[in-house]
Structure 1
Amino acid sequence: MPAAPSPQITPAPPPPERRPVGGRVAAALTEAAPALGAYAAVRIVGLLVLWAAASADGKDALHLLSERWDSVWYQRVAGSGYGYTATLPDGSIHSDLAFFPLLPALERGIAEVTPLGLAGAGLLVAWVAALLAAWGIFAVGARLYGRRAGVVLVALWGVYPTAFVQSMAYTETLFTALAAWSLYAALTRRWIVAGGLCVLAGLTRPSAVALIAALAVTAAVVLVREYRSGATDGIVRRHGRMLLGVVIAPMGWLAYVVFVAVREGSPFAYFDVQAQWGNSIDGGAALASFVLGLPLPGMLGLCAALAALGWLVSLCVRQRQPLPVLVYGIAVVVVSLIGSGYFGSRPRLMMPAFPLLLPPAVALLRLRSTARTVAVLAVLAVASAVYGAWTLLGSGPP
């Protein structure tokens, strides 16, 4: 009998060629270029208005941006380490342990290897981080609602009323950059990257608890859904990377809280330090007291602003934003409102909550005219710039 023909074996197709990391980054940066350009444009408007106003007032604009308010505390930590306290006339004590360590560490490292002093290093970190934050915000917006929405979202973040802080030697841009890219990593299921970035965010600002909550709640919902569906076999193995990312996410925040506890010899030392600064958690009692203590016009105006904020949060829910993005945005707002801190700081504390700007960004796209969208953003940029110059040249946030 003739031998049976050998079966034909079709060779497997070659695996898709994976682009080098540098190439992927370059492609992503090219896609984000319009958003970064829009962000740079609106922030340049703010800087030019500040420079003109400061020059007319005989003041140094760079000094206002790099050596004002909290930036001085960060630079003191960068230069001398922790241990400085200031006693106020009312007897309260302000300790530099209220300030998280990542920004001072970066300032010190840059100052040691460049001609920049600590103030210049702080500005460099803030400005580079601002561009990275804009890139991350664009990445989230573009993934959810398209590239044009991502560009408008970034521009809106750049014209936020207290956006002048994005140009100061503060932690807002550094924290927002880490948060935005952590959320993007979660959206793309890179959970270990998301957790690692959350660790760094936790070394930057106490509001990292909002990002920690976003990752944890998202993971919990995924697990509960699978458990209810009966798909319990191998659930830990299937979601091992997600669980690992969630476990490491709070490590940065916890590490600093433990550091303060050990240094001060009290498990609640960090919270005691914050209370000395007037930043204890009171569930919103201080906010309510502040609002009720205003003259009637101010009270009505502030109530209207808070109502608008609540409406914006409801729009985010109705927009069906992905769970990590939605939880993060709402949590930042809640954390900003339930503390007893100085009211003028609260808009700044809410600035990293960029998901709140997604509904306005999508609404602006409905204008169906690039010229109209640009005109709206230009008006907002000028208004934000004027407000920023007025604030920086005054005694602080009104």
Structure 2
Amino acid sequence: MSTDVPVSGETQSPPSLGARLRALGAELAFPVGLFFISRLALFLLARVSLVFDNRLHRAPFQQTSLAGLDAFCRWDCGWYTEIAQQGYARPQATNFFPLLPVLGRLVKETTGLSIQVSLVLVANIAGLLGLIVLYRLFRMLEGEDTARVSLLLFTAYPFAFFQSAGYPESWMVFLTALALLLSVRGRHWWAALALGFGGLARHLSLVAGLSLLFQQLRSRGGGLKAWFHRDILALAIPLVMTSLYFVFLWRKFGDPQIWWKVRGGEWAGAWAGLATWWKGDWAPEVSLYVALSFIPGVGALLLTTRRRWWTLAVFGLPLMLVLWTVGLVGLGRYSAAVWPAFLPLGAWLSRHPALRGPVVLGCALFQGMLVFLFVHAYPIN
């Protein structure tokens, strides 16, 4: 008998630590490699473009340094910079949730880096973790080849560079993906805790609570009894954690709803939707946001076509509908955070290998153009 074949009834010893580390390294190789290659390309593009022309489109009109990481702190990153430095000093800042500026301030105080660079670093830490979690979840659902193609599409999507900028989108992706991965594995309380932090990064993360509920009911076979399981109580955790921010607003400004009320003033346009866009005269970049948003929009719709994708569909499709309703001005970066939509798109592209290179390369080149505009402070936000 070959020594490679276990004797009947013989128990196999667990794999050694070295074997487990090698397996982990093999699993992490693709998402980690993709992260570093994509970020290196983005940061080199920003640096080279600002070396050749360091003029900015908006005040102060002159880049003060030759394109460090702070080149990815533009537009709304300025609000997070203000919050990290001064706290919530004025009501208009309350539209921006606290997780990113709190972590940015912590990195600044620990490392001595500027707050702008700290915010970008924090965003990229989440970007790395997000790719690792997405790869594991996608591979669990569809296998390695589809997981790789889906992750490539997600990274190459023209507005995916916002996962590298001083914005909370990367934290929303990481924490919602982690919540769904934990929920699929039956760890419902940990999933709820992860989603609670997601709510503190961006309140739209809470839409993923629909997936956590669906997965719980699905795992118990549905029916009335499934609603009375003790794990259902875990779904209150994200609501309670996010509500802590509203308690803070009540103590600071005397109104827990002030973040919602200020939207009617300075932020009125940011809450517009497709119906408003269709009737109005918007800037060209907004029309670009709308056109490209139909890429993840189609992907979100395709999530309904396979039962094993339904847990993701219960998050991705409602989120896309919400963004089309109230997310017009930020629809580019918002739609890039609808990560479930890239699984069915990757599954389709994996069946058409001749199209993989042209599609991914075309998206990446388009993303490069948008990065050039963003770091030069053109209105891509």
* TM-score calculated relative to the size of structure 1: 0.79
Distance in 1, Cα, partners of 2:269 & 2:213: 24
Does residue 47 of structure 2 align to residue 51 of structure 1?
Answer: yes
The match for 2:253 is 264
The match for 1:289 is 276
Superposed displacement of residue 312, structure 1: 3.1
Superposed displacement of residue 281, structure 1: 9.8
The answer on whether the counterparts of 1:43 and 1:158 sit within 8 Å (CA) in structure 2 is no
Does residue 374 of structure 2 align to residue 378 of structure 1?
Answer: no
Unaligned runs of 5+ in 1: 1-11, 86-94
The match for 1:92 is none
Q: CA RMSD in A?
A: 3.3
The match for 2:314 is 327
Q: What is the correspondence of 1:317-356 to structure 2 with a 5 Å cutoff?
A: 317-339=304-326, 343-356=328-341
With over 3 angstroms needed to count, the CA separation of the structure-2 counterparts of 1:303 and 1:152, relative to structure 1, is: closer
Superposed displacement of residue 35, structure 1: 2.7
Does residue 302 of structure 2 align to residue 315 of structure 1?
Answer: yes
2:378 counterpart SS class: coil
* TM-score calculated relative to the size of structure 2: 0.82
The match for 1:3 is none
Does residue 75 of structure 2 align to residue 78 of structure 1?
Answer: no
Superposed displacement of residue 359, structure 1: 1.6
With over 3 angstroms needed to count, the CA separation of the structure-2 counterparts of 1:49 and 1:267, relative to structure 1, is: closer
Distance in 1, Cα, partners of 2:290 & 2:369: 24
The answer on whether the counterparts of 1:102 and 1:200 sit within 8 Å (CA) in structure 2 is yes
Letter in 2 for 1:269: I
Deviations 1:7-61 (A, max 9, x none): xxxxx998985988x9868744531311321343234333333322222212443
Distance in 2, Cα, partners of 1:281 & 1:223: 40
2:74 counterpart SS class: coil
The match for 1:38 is 34
2:330 counterpart SS class: helix
Letter in 1 for 2:319: V
Does residue 267 of structure 2 align to residue 278 of structure 1?
Answer: yes
Letter in 2 for 1:32: L
Deviations 1:205-258 (A, max 9, x none): 12122122322344355668233xxxx4x984xx43x32432213222222123
Distance in 2, Cα, partners of 1:35 & 1:107: 24
The match for 1:91 is none
The match for 2:59 is none
**Alignment size in residue pairs:** 362
Distance in 2, Cα, partners of 1:117 & 1:141: 36
Unaligned runs of 5+ in 2: 1-8, 55-62
1:256 counterpart SS class: helix
1:207 counterpart SS class: helix
The answer on whether the counterparts of 1:39 and 1:155 sit within 8 Å (CA) in structure 2 is no
Q: Over alpha carbons, which structure has the higher Rg? A: 1
Letter in 1 for 2:380: P
Does residue 381 of structure 2 align to residue 392 of structure 1?
Answer: no
The answer on whether the counterparts of 1:198 and 1:252 sit within 8 Å (CA) in structure 2 is no
Superposed displacement of residue 64, structure 1: 5.4
Distance in 1, Cα, partners of 2:286 & 2:170: 31
Distance in 1, Cα, partners of 2:35 & 2:73: 24
Distance in 2, Cα, partners of 1:298 & 1:76: 26
